[in-house]
Every structure is written in C-alpha cells, then in structure tokens.
Chains A and B, each alone.
Chain A
C-alpha cells in the first residue's frame, strides 16, 4: 500500500512537471527558440553536485530536464556540473574569452559582478513577463539580481543559516534546549570548557559567516545605502560581538577551522561526531547527514538572539542568461520552467529551498526543519550588494583572522576592514 502510494505520488509529480513544462512551451513564441526542424542546445553550468552526493544533480538531470525537453521538442538542455570552488574561476576565464554558456546558476553574490562586466542579459528588459515571475519570489532574493536599475536574473533557490545543535554535546554542557540567546551561549561556554567539545564551529570569517553574529548582536555592516562601512562595521557594538567570538576562540571553544585551518574537522563531520556543540548551516545538511550519518539527529533552531534579535543571512542562487548566448529565447523558456512550482518543489525535496513564499507550507510538509528556515528567512538580511562582494569577503577574512590569532585587537581589525570596504564600495 505504502509502496503503491509512493509510486502514485511519483507518477503524479512527473505528470505535473511534464504539464507545467508543456505550459512553458506553449507560452513562448518567437524565432530561434528551438523546434524539431531546427533543434538547439542550451548549455547550463552550475554546482548542484554536493561532494559526491548527487541527489540534486539527479533531480535535475533525470527528472526535470527530461520533462522540459519532452515538453519542448527541439530544445536540449546540456547541464555541466562544476566544483563550486572552481566555478567562479571558470566563469571569469570564460567571460574573458567570450565563451560563457547560455545559462548559469550563479551564487547570488556573483550577479552584480558579472552584470558590471557586461556579460549578462538584463532579464527585466528581455523577458516581458519578468515582473510577474519576480513578484512570486522573496523580494530579498529578487533584489540580489539588481544592478544599476536593471534585474539580471531570477532567484533559483534560496537558503539561510540557522543554528544546528547536537543533543549529545548539549548534554555535556548540562542543557537540554539549544541556546536561544548570546547569554545562553556564554553559559554553555563556561560549562564546555575542558570537555573537549567546542561551543561553536564555522569554516571562515567572510560575510556569510560573521554577518549573522553582527546583525544579531545589534550592529550592521554598512549604512543603509551600502556606501560606507566606517562608523558601522567598526562600531562599539560590533567590537563587542566579535570580541565575544575571539574570547571563545582563545579559550579553545571555537576550533581554528574558522581561521582557515583546512585540516581541521569540517562542521558537517564535527557536529555529528560531538566535537562541536553548535554550528550555523543551511538546509542542505540534512541530505548530507542522512547519507553519511544516518543515526545523527540534529536539532534546528533560530540563530541565537543578541540585542539585535535573531537575524541570519540570505543565501541562494540565481539563474542568469549570458549576453553571448545565441539561443536566448530557448534559454528564457528554461528560466520560466525553473520558476514553476513543480521545479521548485522537486528541488526542495533535495534540500534547495523554494524562492516562492506561497510554496513555503507545501515545502514544510516535506521536512519539519524547513519551517525553521522559512521563519528565519522572514528576518534574514542580504549581504552587501556589490560587484566587489568576493573582495569584501577577502577583506573581512584577512583583517579578522589576525584578531582571532591575537596579533591585533578587534577594534583595529574592524577599523582596517571598514576602511578597505569603504574603498571597495566607492568603486561600485
């Protein structure tokens, strides 16, 4: 019975995807879109592969793309998966050589950078239904595509970071519930000293890593217009928040994974092994742990609140169309397909959260932890929208690392970071 209902569900899902894909096909007109007589191949690059975990790639390659192609005879989607760490380098080189693919699943931080380089098509100008499609998505995610008054992409998936805890580590700290505030973390820190369990672990000091601490601590990265960091990033509030982390680091309660030790145990392994009590991470972790640590039962809860509340950072990817594409109409058809509920829910099943708030309830039915993420997203903020976002990350990492290592003070580190980021924002 159970098996047949699962089979039925699969058939219904496949049928729905096919129908929606067919709907996309019917709504598009114009020449050069790919027909049986003159077929086109649309190339698409991304990083759906997840360290040997091919769930997301399989959903794309084996279910979604075939459904789209069946509904759009004449259009073939050729997806190439590239290691995330290398994708930006490959895109940069290919852009310089004018050899970009038609479509890219780009980290939302990269879109302004490529838009500034002139290698993307502003979809708000080329797609007549852009406004309708964008209106269905989280406004925060849509805004990551904005560069100089034009929108260069559409949100493909979203995510944020929440607190994930290991119950066994909490027990070692003598608590039963995950820490809800900075004060709770301080209490846990005292109790975990000397137990060999780290209070918190993270894999870097970029904006993705430190922003939740800064915002939840009541501080900010820049002024509201994102034109100046001095006076904001190096505020007394932020010094206090970062000093709290530095103190934990010096007490051995945060491992040196955060300061760049590539040999340290990663957060995805340290938490299930009770080496780390808490981490901040995204919804993809569930799928990774299900495969690798089937007995591990993580607890998902909001980012611990400081004086600024519980504020996390918006993450995700956008789909963008490159200016060198010779199959723009066919590529736009596929972009429309990615905005359908069938595509969004199929990817949500693999750990990629939907960008459409109207699908949040449906998504929460897939797994209870999605509700924690959806709720966190309501107050989550985007990182600085700048073509220099990767440089801003590098500035934060290179200035904060010496503070953690005790080579400089937190105030001096934040002063230096703010001044360098000012220069990068001035170049926007």
Chain B
C-alpha cells in the first residue's frame, strides 16, 4: 500500500497537469481577449464612417469600410508637425532619462557614500506623489526657468518625472550583477566609468529595455503637463491634437481612433525592438561557474 502510494501520486499529478495546463491556457486566452478586444474595436471603428460607429452589437469587421478617417486625421492642419514634435520629445526624454537614471542606479548599487540610503528613499518618495498634485508647482517652476511653451520644457519635466522609477528598476538590476566582475575589471585597471559603460550597461540590457519602453510610452502619451505648458500650437504634441478631435458637443470617434492608431505605431516599434530583452535571462552566462 505504501509502495503504491508514490506511483498513484505521480499518476494523479500527471493526469492533473493537462487540466492545469488547459486552465492556464484558458486564463491566458481570456486575458488576451480582454486585452486585444478594445484594440480590435478601435481598429475597426477607425475604418468606419461616423454613421456606422458605436453600433450595437459592435461591428468588428467594418462594413462599409473607409479610409476617410485616416485621410482626415493626417490631413488635419499640422498633424504631421505634432507627430514630429512628439517624436522629438519622446526620443530625447527617453535617451536622457535612461542615461541619467542608469548612472544614478549604478552609483546607488556599487558605491558606498554617506546618506546613500536616505537619498535613495527620498528619490523613491517622489513616486508616491500623484502627478496631478505637481502640475501647478511644475508650471510655476517652468515659468521661472523660462521653459514654458517649448519642447525643451516638456523634455525637462518628462526626464525629471521618470528618473525615480527608472533608477529604482535599474538599481536592483545592477545590484544583482555579481561584484566579482567589477572587481576583476578593477584589478585590470578599469575606472568607474569604464566599469559602468563597458560592463554594467551591456549586462543591463533587459533593465534598460524596460526603462526605455516605459519612458518612451509615458513621454509619448503624456497629456496633463503638455496641456498646461504648451500654448502655441506649433509646439503641440500628438495627445493634444487627438484631444482636440473630441468636441464639446459631438465627437467623431472614427477620427479619434484613426489618429490614436497612427500614434500607436512608434510605441509598437519601440516595443518590438526592445521586446526580446524582456525575456532574456538577466545575467545568464556572465559568470562562469
């Protein structure tokens, strides 16, 4: 009886695995449907004329289909300028934020200095303050620094706003890189900058990918700061332009969704480029056992 018990247990387990796998798949499929359906609906609506949008039951295959919304969105005065403005702001903000936060994270992870933990916690405290509470102080600061109504002002605040989270993410990552690698380089005469730039950064690609995707997405989508700081339409970014498609009395949803889909393209590109680092083993192969 006792001898049979482990075999029976194994049988039960092996019989249970397909069921668990099926459940996992079912949960994943349901999750995927929940995530993808709104996007498909948005895609479908963007190819419908106003008379056919928001019909019940929802129409996922547009009939009749039209590309009129895309033509109208792109044809809107300055739409391409807003696109370029958004691209400039998002690319520079992302590069600046990832560079600065990775340097800060490296110093928090590798160096010992007085008040290190206190400064780090102060930095993290920034994450707990709701962004909307900072709008007016940021606006006044921007005014005093003469950064209002400029792309440079947006870049400044987008970098500042993303430093806390990125530093937090990357500090943990840098700390997990074995210290022996640093020591080995140090013995070979590498200074701090070389160890950061030639060792930590190449090994931290997955963390940099995460920080890049988050920062790009946040800078690309950001609305409240852009709304309060930008006055001249020549400096407007895409979220402002898309918001203007929503009217006080009526909204052309096909147009809003077409413009939003155009706006999604750069985000998709950034995600596809950096996606493979997401799933990469963090430090696998860095230290030979």
Q: Which A residues are within 8 Å of any B CB, using their own CB?
A: 43, 45, 47, 49-54, 78, 80-86, 89-90, 93-94, 96-99, 101, 265-266, 268-269, 272-273, 281-282, 284-285, 288, 292-293
Contacts and interface: CB of A to CB of B under 8 A. Distances in A.
A155 B220 CA distance: 38
Given A99-B143, A292-B51, A90 B228 contact: yes
Nearest to B54: A265
B232 A266 contact: no
Contacts of B49: 292
Contact of A51 (B136, B232, B240, B246): B246
B191 interface: no
For the complex of A and B, 5 pairs with smallest distance between CB atoms:
A51-B247, A84-B248, A268-B250, A292-B50, A52-B252
A80 B233 CA distance: 6
Contacts of B233: 80-81
Contacts of A86: 227, 243
Contacts of A273: 51, 55
Nearest to A268: B250
Contacts of A85: 243, 246, 248
Contact of B50 (A94, A97, A269): A269
Contacts, number: 103
A27 to B, nearest CB: 30
Contact of A49 (B51, B228, B232, B247): B247
Nearest to A81: B244
A53 B247 contact: yes
Nearest to B231: A80
A50 B249 contact: yes
Nearest to A283: B249
B247 A52 contact: yes
A78 B233 CA distance: 10
19 contacts: A47-B248, A49-B244, A50-B250, A51-B252, A51-B255, A52-B251, A53-B247, A82-B244, A83-B246, A86-B243, A89-B224, A93-B139, A97-B136, A97-B140, A99-B148, A268-B249, A284-B249, A285-B249, A292-B49
B81 to A, nearest CB: 14
B42 to A, nearest CB: 13
Contacts of B263: none
A52 B245 contact: yes
A269 B54 contact: yes
Instruction: Identify which of B56, B232, B245, B248 gathers the most chain A CB atoms within 10 Å of its CB.
Output: B248
A285 B247 CA distance: 11
Contact of A90 (B227, B245, B246): B227
Contacts of A269: 50, 53-54, 250
Instruction: Identify which of A86, A265, A281 gathers the most chain B CB atoms within 10 Å of its CB.
Output: A86
A82 B231 CA distance: 9
A293 B246 CA distance: 18
B243 A83 contact: yes
Given A85-B243, A292-B51, 10 more contacts: A45-B231, A51-B250, A51-B251, A51-B252, A86-B227, A266-B251, A282-B249, A288-B247, A288-B250, A292-B252
Nearest to B136: A96
B125 to A, nearest CB: 24
A167 B262 CA distance: 38
B49 to A, nearest CB: 8
A169 B227 CA distance: 41
Interface of B: 49-51, 53-56, 72, 76-77, 135-136, 139-140, 143, 148, 224, 227-228, 231-233, 240, 243-252, 255-256
A279 to B, nearest CB: 11
A83 B252 CA distance: 14
Instruction: Identify which of B51, B53, B55, B77 gathers the most chain A CB atoms within 10 Å of its CB.
Output: B51
Instruction: Identify which of A53, A272, A281 gathers the most chain B CB atoms within 10 Å of its CB.
Output: A53
A218 to B, nearest CB: 29
B228 A266 contact: no
Nearest to B52: A273
A96 B72 CA distance: 37
Given A52-B255, A83-B243, A293-B51, A97 B249 contact: no
Contacts of B143: 97-99
A28 to B, nearest CB: 26
Contacts of B139: 93-94, 96-97, 99
Nearest to B256: A52
Contacts of A99: 139, 143, 148, 231
Nearest to B148: A99
A37 B193 CA distance: 56
B231 A101 contact: yes
B58 to A, nearest CB: 11
A200 to B, nearest CB: 17
A43 B148 CA distance: 15
B228 A51 contact: no
A51 B135 CA distance: 26
A157 B252 CA distance: 24
Instruction: Identify which of A93, A284, A293 gathers the most chain B CB atoms within 10 Å of its CB.
Output: A93
A52 to B, nearest CB: 4
B246 to A, nearest CB: 6
Contacts of A84: 247-248
Nearest to A85: B246
A50 B256 CA distance: 12
Contacts of A98: 143
Contacts of A292: 49-51, 250, 252
A272 B72 contact: no
Nearest to B135: A93
A288 B249 contact: yes
A292 B251 CA distance: 10
A288 to B, nearest CB: 5
Contacts of B246: 51, 83, 85
Contacts of B227: 82, 86, 89-90
A265 B250 CA distance: 11
Nearest to A79: B233
B19 to A, nearest CB: 37
Contacts of A49: 244, 247
Contacts of A83: 240, 243-244, 246
B273 to A, nearest CB: 32
A281 B248 CA distance: 12
A219 B233 CA distance: 45
A414 B140 CA distance: 41
